[in-house]
Amino acid sequence: MTEPTAPVWIAGAWRAAQASGSFHAEDPSTGTPLPTPYPVSTRADVIAALEAGSQAAEALEHAAPAAIASFLEGFAAAIEARRDQLVDLAHRETGLPLAPRLRDVELPRTTDQLRQAAAAARSGVWRRPTIDRARGIVSAYAPLGGPVVVMGPNNFPFAFNSVAGGDAAAALAAHNPVIAKANTAHPGTTRLLAELADGALAVAGLPAATIQLLYRVPRDLGLELVAHPLVGATGFTGGRPAGLELKAAADRAGKPIYLEMSSVNPVVLLPGALRERGAAIAAEFYGSCTLGAGQFCTNPGVVIVPAGADGDAFIDAAVAHFSQNPPGVLLGRSGRDGLVSAVATLQQHGATLRCGGAPLDGPGYRFANTLLVVRGASFLAAAHALQTEAFGPVALIVQSDDVDQTVAIIRRFEGNLTGTIYLAGDGSDDAGYARVEPPLRRRVGRLLNNRMPTGVAVSPAMNHGGPFPATGHPGFTAVGMPASIGRFAALHCYDNVPATRLPWWLHDDLPQA
Amino acid sequence: MTEPTAPVWIAGAWRAAQASGSFHAEDPSTGTPLPTPYPVSTRADVIAALEAGSQAAEALEHAAPAAIASFLEGFAAAIEARRDQLVDLAHRETGLPLAPRLRDVELPRTTDQLRQAAAAARSGVWRRPTIDRARGIVSAYAPLGGPVVVMGPNNFPFAFNSVAGGDAAAALAAHNPVIAKANTAHPGTTRLLAELADGALAVAGLPAATIQLLYRVPRDLGLELVAHPLVGATGFTGGRPAGLELKAAADRAGKPIYLEMSSVNPVVLLPGALRERGAAIAAEFYGSCTLGAGQFCTNPGVVIVPAGADGDAFIDAAVAHFSQNPPGVLLGRSGRDGLVSAVATLQQHGATLRCGGAPLDGPGYRFANTLLVVRGASFLAAAHALQTEAFGPVALIVQSDDVDQTVAIIRRFEGNLTGTIYLAGDGSDDAGYARVEPPLRRRVGRLLNNRMPTGVAVSPAMNHGGPFPATGHPGFTAVGMPASIGRFAALHCYDNVPATRLPWWLHDDLPQA
């Protein structure tokens, strides 16, 4: 007899899944399964969610912006009211520290995003209307006409959550319903967030299927989902293999899909910076690379240092930090296994282990803080393999002979979310910066100076995006309202349509083109 | 011995192609080959163009906006100065009327677009900077870092030309170089335009490889080109089979590709409009559907009329127009053959021929003005096949039993560039409009009232785009500055970068976010 699993949330009802199986989340700090079983949905659930989502899309298209804003704000308030329970649950499912991480950083970030989405929904700033009165043509962005599938990652149970995170908030701000596919590492957190959303939807008077929740679907069904004719678009944050499979399926069907996949976030340390403050930079690097047990999309995974004494001193200082401090708990078993595999790949391609390199014993999932080193020439000989992402407290330090070699290395980099240059304050690195910046700039979404890349500010000026394969398109960002909303909007033009038949968002007296 | 072919334009030099063969354009009004042979390039040409284009991309990134604007304006002036020669050549290669079409409509449209691109390049409006001073983060759009491949269609030898048309102008406005792949129907026109561009580039002091020109590449090489690591993006306008192949190749490589493929541009005639002015609408429909021998992306190819007396009268009036007037010359042999095939497909799936239906005898390529009719129920039974695009003076009229059936028909429509509703002025169609508009709106980029869809105004409010498979993404337009420029730009964020190291386009005192 199958044990009863948690209900899915489809068409406004919390009901038993049409399930083909079940799974449990684990407490990664102990490696033991958590008590609640969650369903693996069959096609019946997916189609039911798509059909209800499609109807909700039609209703939401003309919903009052105030209603959507009020829902998003009510949702944020509900999250705050249940903060302790949410934080406790997320901590058990992810192993991330209760505080400050979950309670004081990620949860406020999440409610902040929801409120920024509410403000954008209320103002309609994302519609970007263009009016050509002389020719009788007007255009503006509108919702996609179908639900947005959101597949959130394991490493941000709140801020990138499939129900409450940035993609969901952006999709909802543009009047699109959301079909959330929970990350299987934290189904309970996602379920509780969905329950809070449910209450806030009812208060705001929005359609019941404005948000729906599934926990898991078999691989083929996931590919069918993102390519389904009723879908508006997909937002995916996660690993590259799954991301590329979903992208191929959505692309074939002509369905937009926004992916945030993998990134090693190269950091270039110029010689003057190391001379000036090498020890301080080593400490900053350690802090950034091991924050959240290194499980950030913007984790600095490749660092280029000058070969020679200052570079060696930096490496020694970094090794001391990495080896003297215990690593945090990883998000799960697959993360640990992925690190074993990634570190092996790096070593097979010429990188030398300086510290760490193996999982820790014990009941939970931990991987030693790890540094590897490789000469610039060796990096160039195996540039692709040496950009293997190690999603954890692991970095590869590349020893570059000179600025020419640094430029050659950068020219082999894939697309990344971020690229960072540390340089001296006395001008001694300015010439090197001028050589290094242009090729790095073209390969990253966000270029930093003298600051580690972790810490993605929720700012309208943020770009949490970058060239493929960091994401699927270099023109879009996953963080930063209102820009991130633009991913989930279609351009609608009206030609010779009198004002009385224009939608209300083009009724106001708008500036002329 | 191989005859000498026209030179390709690579890295600033007009030189013999590394060719694997040659081809001739035809005069479609006589079906005879034109004298000049053009080369089919091999991989050596393609790689040479990519490498030169990649270097030009680096140079153009920091080119002065005034230089780019001055080039675009100089190019427009050069086109005007050589108007008669251009128009004559295009007429011979395409069969399109010298005047008013080529001389008085399309050529001025083309120079207008180039000047609008110049204005956008000069103002930098496409960069859309966002400044967050408090957090020290700024972002703006920047060029893609690689050349933009432009593959223009056969039906607009000037306005969508690979060298001088809208895609090229938009790519250049955002400081990207262009690799033009000429449409093989008008290689001479494209070559002459490229020669004029060459002169204007030299005057403006831009890199020689800012624009490059190939005439034809084998299929596999085209797929390699759009997916090549050095490419920034591709703009393609043409048929669906080729478009989908190119899309798949570019998608796999994570390279942006913007496609304008196929569209039947449904027109819904509501009963009151037919009662009120059915004969006038029939004349408008005839004019729009046969303009340019029907070879417009926005040609009205499917018309829904009410079954019954008014609908029958409209059909009779339309048939009279279509059958009493001679068709124009088609763009070429493949267009004629495509029409034979498309009309056969429509007939095989239940459509009845009312007039036309076959090519005309004679030396040139002509296809009789053609109307087919099908009952709504039959349309619903074969909705996919009955949306086969017939690229010429051909339309399918669907007789709908009532508004319910009209809505059901619309719900089966694929994505289209345009959708049109004709309604009465006395309010008698308002209820029908309210039923029909929402499902149509979601399936088209531009919604029109009481105006046929041909005639795409070059307006900032224009959307010449729409849901797949009309294009590859519902958020972008191929016509209308500055929006069309956004296709060829990457979002670049700077985090903690002092003003002295920001690019010049972020130096000015910009408004805060």
Tokens 């800012």, residue located: B210
* Whether A61 contacts chain B with CB within 8 A: yes
Neighbours of A397 (CB within 10 A): 23
Q: Which two tokens stand for residue A1?
A: 């007899």
Residues in chain B with CB shorter than 8 Å from the CB of A501 are 433, 437, 449
* Nearest Cα residue in chain B from A55: B439
Is the per-residue pLDDT at B25 higher than 90? yes
* Nearest Cα residue in chain A from B145: A442
Q: How close A471 gets to chain B, by Cα (Å)?
A: 9
Query: Coil, helix or strand for A239?
Result: coil
Task: Report d(CA B3, CA B395) in Å as an integer.
Answer: 43
Task: Report d(CA B21, CA B27) in Å as an integer.
Answer: 20
- In this predicted structure, what is the pLDDT of residue A2? 56
Q: How close B495 gets to chain A, by Cα (Å)?
A: 5
- In this predicted structure, what is the pLDDT of residue B116? 98
| B124 closest CA partner among B65, B210, B56, B63 | B65
Contact B475 A486 (CB under 8 A): yes
Which residues lie below 8 Å from residue B37, measured CB to CB, with a gap of 6+?
A: B3, B4, B5, B6, B22, B23, B24
DSSP letter string, B197-211: HHHHHHHHT--GGGE
Contact B445 A493 (CB under 8 A): yes
Q: For residue B359, what is the DSSP state?
A: B
Residues in chain A with CB shorter than 8 Å from the CB of B473 are 256
- In this predicted structure, what is the pLDDT of residue B1? 43
* Whether B492 contacts chain A with CB within 8 A: yes
Contact B491 A476 (CB under 8 A): yes
- In this predicted structure, what is the pLDDT of residue B52? 98
For helices B166-173 and B65-81, the axis angle rounded to 10 degrees is: 160
The distance from CA A368 to its chain's CA centroid, rounded to whole angstroms, is 24
pTM: 0.97
Neighbours of A300 (CB within 10 A): 23
pLDDT band at A1 (very low <50, low <70, confident <90, very high): very low
Q: Which two tokens stand for residue B135?
A: 């957090």
Average confidence score pLDDT of chain B = 96
Q: How close A442 gets to chain B, by Cα (Å)?
A: 6
Task: Report d(CA B260, CA B478) in Å as an integer.
Answer: 8
Partners of B140 in the beta sheet? B492
- In this predicted structure, what is the pLDDT of residue A363? 87
| A297 closest CA partner among A392, A183, A187 | A392
The C-alpha angle with vertex A147 and arms to A141 and A151, in degrees rounded to 5, equals 110
Task: Report d(CA B276, CA B310) in Å as an integer.
Answer: 10
Is domain A8-21+33-261+471-506 classified as CATH 3.40.605.10? yes
* Whether B12 contacts chain A with CB within 8 A: no
Is the per-residue pLDDT at A386 higher than 50? yes
Q: Which of B58, B446, B491 sits opposite A463 (nearest CB)?
A: B491
pLDDT tens digit string along B35-89?
999 999 999 999 999 999 999 999 999 999 999 999 999 999 999 999 999 999 9
A137 CB-contact burial (10 Å; exposed 0-12 / middle 13-18 / buried 19+)? buried
Query: Coil, helix or strand for A353?
Result: strand
* Nearest Cα residue in chain A from B484: A491
Contact A438 B475 (CB under 8 A): no
Is the per-residue pLDDT at B513 higher than 80? no
Which residues lie below 8 Å from residue A100, measured CB to CB, with a gap of 6+?
A: none
Are B330 and B367 in contact, with CB atoms under 8 Å apart?
yes
Q: Which of B253, B448, B494 sits opposite A495 (nearest CB)?
A: B448
pLDDT tens digit string along B181-231?
999 999 999 999 999 999 999 999 999 999 999 999 999 999 999 999 999
Query: What are the start and end residues of each CATH 3.40.605.10 domain in chain A?
Result: 8-21+33-261+471-506
For helices B309-324 and B271-290, the axis angle rounded to 10 degrees is: 20
Contact A448 B496 (CB under 8 A): yes
Annotation marks residue B297 as catalytic: yes
Supply φ then ψ for residue A30, to 5 degrees.
-125, -15
Task: Report d(CA A186, CA A199) in Å as an integer.
Answer: 21
Residues 116-135 of A with CB under 8 A from B: 130-132, 135
Are A372 and A397 in contact, with CB atoms under 8 Å apart?
yes
Q: How close B99 gets to chain A, by Cα (Å)?
A: 24
Are B406 and B400 in contact, with CB atoms under 8 Å apart?
yes
Query: Coil, helix or strand for A300?
Result: coil
* DSSP H or E stretch at residue A444: strand A444-449
Are A288 and A300 in contact, with CB atoms under 8 Å apart?
yes
* Whether A415 contacts chain B with CB within 8 A: yes
Is the per-residue pLDDT at B383 higher than 70? yes
Please say whether the dihedral angle defined by the alpha carbons of residues B230, B161, B258 and B489, taken in this order, is positive or negative.
positive
Q: How close B232 gets to chain A, by Cα (Å)?
A: 10
Strand A178-181 with A211-214, pairing: parallel
* Whether B384 contacts chain A with CB within 8 A: no
Give me the CATH code for the B267-449 domain, please: 3.40.309.10
Query: What are the start and end residues of each CATH 3.40.605.10 domain in chain B?
Result: 39-261+471-506
Query: Coil, helix or strand for B23?
Result: strand
Query: Coil, helix or strand for A269?
Result: strand
Q: How close B414 gets to chain A, by Cα (Å)?
A: 10
Strand B211-214 with B178-181, pairing: parallel
Contact A497 B447 (CB under 8 A): yes
Q: With helix as H, strand as E and coil as C, how does B52-97 read?
A: HHHHHHHHHHCCCHHHHHHHHHHHHHHHHHCHHHHHHHHHHHHCCC
Partners of A419 in the beta sheet? A447
pLDDT tens digit string along B146-165?
999 999 999 999 999 999 99
Task: Report d(CA B125, CA B97) in Å as an integer.
Answer: 36
Contact B494 A248 (CB under 8 A): no
Average confidence score pLDDT of chain A = 96
Contact B513 A463 (CB under 8 A): no
* Whether A505 contacts chain B with CB within 8 A: no
Q: How close A269 gets to chain B, by Cα (Å)?
A: 15
Q: Which of A58, A145, A254 sits opposite B472 (nearest CB)?
A: A254
- In this predicted structure, what is the pLDDT of residue A501? 96
The distance from CA A500 to its chain's CA centroid, rounded to whole angstroms, is 42
Distances (CA, A) of B361 to A273, B116, B367: 79, 43, 9
Task: Report d(CA B425, CA B276) in Å as an integer.
Answer: 8
Tokens 């190269």, residue located: A266
Percent of chain B with pLDDT over 90: 96
Supply φ then ψ for residue B182, to 5 degrees.
-60, 150
Task: Report d(CA A319, CA B130) in Å as an integer.
Answer: 39
pLDDT band at A508 (very low <50, low <70, confident <90, very high): low
Is the per-residue pLDDT at A511 higher than 90? no
CA atoms within 13 A on the CB side of B322: 30
pLDDT band at B2 (very low <50, low <70, confident <90, very high): low
* Whether B251 contacts chain A with CB within 8 A: yes
* Whether A462 contacts chain B with CB within 8 A: yes
Residues B260, B276, B389, B414: which is the catalytic one?
B260
Q: Which of A459, A477, A491 sits opposite B465 (nearest CB)?
A: A491
User: What mean pLDDT is predicted for residues B21-34?
Assistant: 96
Is the per-residue pLDDT at B7 higher than 60? yes
Q: How close A437 gets to chain B, by Cα (Å)?
A: 10
Query: What are the start and end residues of each CATH 3.40.309.10 domain in chain A?
Result: 267-449
Contact A490 B497 (CB under 8 A): no
Task: Report d(CA A510, CA A413) in Å as an integer.
Answer: 45
pLDDT tens digit string along B341-359?
999 999 999 999 999 999 9
* Whether B505 contacts chain A with CB within 8 A: no
Plot region of A395 (φ>0 → left; ψ -120 to 50 → alpha; else → beta): beta
Contact A441 B492 (CB under 8 A): yes
User: What mean pLDDT is predicted for residues A462-487?
Assistant: 97
Task: Report d(CA A409, CA A7) in Å as an integer.
Answer: 51
Residues in chain B with CB shorter than 8 Å from the CB of A298 are none
Percent of chain B with pLDDT over 70: 98
User: What mean pLDDT is predicted for residues A89-95?
Assistant: 97
- In this predicted structure, what is the pLDDT of residue B512? 41
| A492 closest CA partner among A144, A123, A64 | A144
Partners of A276 in the beta sheet? none
Tokens 């090729």, residue located: A439
Are B191 and B8 in contact, with CB atoms under 8 Å apart?
no
* Nearest Cα residue in chain A from B434: A501
Is the per-residue pLDDT at A110 higher than 70? yes
Is the per-residue pLDDT at B377 higher than 60? yes
Q: Which of B137, B254, B463 sits opposite A139 (nearest CB)?
A: B463
pLDDT band at B509 (very low <50, low <70, confident <90, very high): low
Is the per-residue pLDDT at A513 higher than 50? no
| CATH topology (fold) of B39-261+471-506 | Aldehyde Dehydrogenase; Chain A, domain 1 (3.40.605)
Interface mutation target, options B459, B464, B468, chain A, most CBs of A under 10 Å: B459
Strand B352-355 with B370-375, pairing: antiparallel
